[in-house]
Amino acid sequence: MKTIVPFGPQHPVLPEPIHLNLEVENEIVTGAIPAIGYVHRGLEKLCEIRDFNQMIQVCERVCGICSAIHAQCYCQCIEEMMGVEVPDRARYLRTIWGELHRMHSHLLWLGLFADSFGFESLFMQCWKIREKVMDIMEATTGNRVVISVNIVGGVRRNLDPEQIRWVLSELKFVEEGVKSVEAALLEDYTVKRRLKGKGVLTKEDALLLGAAGPTLRGSNVAQDMRQLGYAAYGEIGFEPVVEPDGDSYSRNKVRFRETLQSIELVRRAIDKLPEGDISVKVKGRPEGEVYHRVEQPRGECVYYLRGNGSKNLERLRIRTPTFANIPPLLTMLPGSELADVPVLILSIDPCVSCTER
Amino acid sequence: MNNVSDITLDALVAEVLKKKNDGWRFVTLSCTELDEESCDILYHFDKDLASSHFRLKAPKATPIPSISSVYFSAFLVENEIQDQFNLKFDGLAVDFERTLLLDEEVTTTPFCRYGVSRANQ
């Protein structure tokens, strides 16, 4: 007999509200219909009353967890529209803070994911490691999450040699911490039983359904927007992390490996950090249209901007990675046991405030 | 923006199907209101990190064929555009009837500068 089981919007594993109507037959999910709209803020509309510089602060607040990368993408769009050449040092600094954001986002998720399958000590351990990353951001920018370093034309903060030495020494602790949880996250018998073969998304489905980020790369698709070479990624050597199986375990492993990769990318960016200015003065107003993509911790983020030469943009459109990962989630759920649904939902690392803007 | 080609309502679904058969991944749609009568909709696609776009000038009064029969994932953004711009997509795989992001009692279309309301339909 078919039953409709409402899941969410409030649920112990969900940090943000999303609702799913699950069609269930004998504890097996046969279909799912999503319902969103609980935290829609209409942020895109603000571009009509806030000028293009003020909109940086708005974009940072689309999502706290990846605020720096939202601001970076927006600034890169405006710079492309206005033909602004950003100083090399600013491009590298953007890369460093972007990767620190990826690290803390992945560590936050690894903890929440562990909590979703009942591994509370692992949750606490991941968040303890994450605190080190937050300390680095606070010490280098003055803020822990919404770090507000990006401006049109570069960045507003610099790193001095002493800070760089300190960041590198702190990253050693982060790296050791991440490696210390590897066995529990990837080798533990119970964890494997909860994740292996669960919520399989094939490579073909991932591409067809427009999956993004670790959800896409966990299905054996080597696609990461950092391959486009924006900021300093074209100069520090970057290869996407890919796992072949398409299940929850693969998505978990991609994020774990990407955390270590981010530490390495920060080191490379620091190693090659050029001397010079961190910003250029920008004159004029944005005109024309631009389409730009960056890789956020959750995946490909798309910005489309249209300007008419006034201080306000005509249109700001943001497609966040979770928005792209909802249709793949609807494909993963049918066939799974009801008890696995929370883990499957968390496996796409949903960010609902991002999705609804 | 490079690689943008204009498309008409009649040819939309067939051209999108061609994209799919050529191995392009659907990314999203971007809608902008042009004037009281029409909107500009961009269809974004990706293939091995290359981007391609279709531009559709959509009259507000005419229903637009949904491409969710070709790319299922398009249903979400098409519903969002229905909410925000008061456009109508025909043949949506899942139609939230303008309640994806908005509450049922909301009668205005927030992204239309000209203040089209549902009551005018």
All structural domains of chain A: 40-331 (1.10.645.10)
What are the mean pLDDT values of chain A's consecutive 10-residue runs (357 residues total)? 85 83 90 85 86 91 88 94 94 95 94 86 93 94 90 93 94 94 91 89 92 94 93 92 93 94 96 93 91 94 93 92 92 90 88 84
> CB–CB of A314 and B32 under 8 A?
yes
Check residue A26 and give its pLDDT: 87
Check residue B121 and give its pLDDT: 46
User: How large is the ipTM?
Assistant: 0.89
- What average pLDDT score do residues B40-54 get? 94
Q: What is the 3-state secondary structure (H, E, C) of chain A?
A: CEEEEEECCCCCCCCCCCEEEEEEECCEEEEEEEECCCCCCCHHHHHHCCCCCCHHHHHHCCCCCCHHHHHHHHHHHHHHHHCCCCCHHHHHHHHHHHHHHHHHHHHHHHHHHHHHCCCHHHHHHHHHHHHHHHHHHHHHHCCCCCCCCEECCEECCCCCHHHHHHHHHHHHHHHHHHHHCHHHHHHCHHHHHHHCCCCCCCHHHHHHCCCCCHHHHCCCCCCCHHHHCCCCHHHHCCCCCCCCCCCHHHHHHHHHHHHHHHHHHHHHHHHCCCCCCCECCCCCCCEEEEEEEEEECCEEEEEEEEEECCCCEEEEEEECHHHHHHHHHHHHCCCCEHHHHHHHHHHCCCCHHHHHC
For chain B positions 18-77, those within 8 Å of chain A (CB to CB) are 20, 25-28, 30-32, 42, 44, 48-49, 51, 53, 71-73, 75-77
Q: Given a cut of 90, is residue B35 above it in pLDDT?
A: no
Check residue A1 and give its pLDDT: 78
- What average pLDDT score do residues B25-45 get? 91
- The Cα of B120 is separated from the nearest Cα of chain A by a number of Å equal to 22
Measured between CA atoms, the residue of chain B closest to residue A221 is: B48
Tokens of A219: 């299905």
Indicate left, alpha or beta for A2 from its phi (over 0: left) and psi (-120 to 50: alpha).
beta
Contact call for residues A85 and A345 (beta carbons, < 8 A): no
Q: Given a cut of 60, is residue B119 above it in pLDDT?
A: no
Query: Which residues fall within 8 angstroms of residue A342, CB to CB, at 6 or more apart?
Result: A11, A12, A13, A14, A116
Contact call for residues B86 and B118 (beta carbons, < 8 A): yes
Measured between CA atoms, the residue of chain A closest to residue B98 is: A37
Check residue B115 and give its pLDDT: 57
Check residue B116 and give its pLDDT: 56
What is the rounded average pLDDT for all residues in chain B?
87
Q: Pairing state of beta strands A28-35 and A19-25?
A: antiparallel
This prediction has a pTM of 0.91
| CA proximity to A71, closest of A79, A81, A61, A80 | A61
Residues in A closer than 8 angstroms to B96, CB to CB, are: 35
Q: Given a cut of 70, is residue B71 above it in pLDDT?
A: yes
Check residue B117 and give its pLDDT: 52
Q: Given a cut of 80, is residue B120 above it in pLDDT?
A: no
CATH assignment of B4-120, given 3.40.50.300, 3.30.460.80, 3.40.190.10, 3.40.50.1450?
3.30.460.80
> CB–CB of B27 and A228 under 8 A?
no
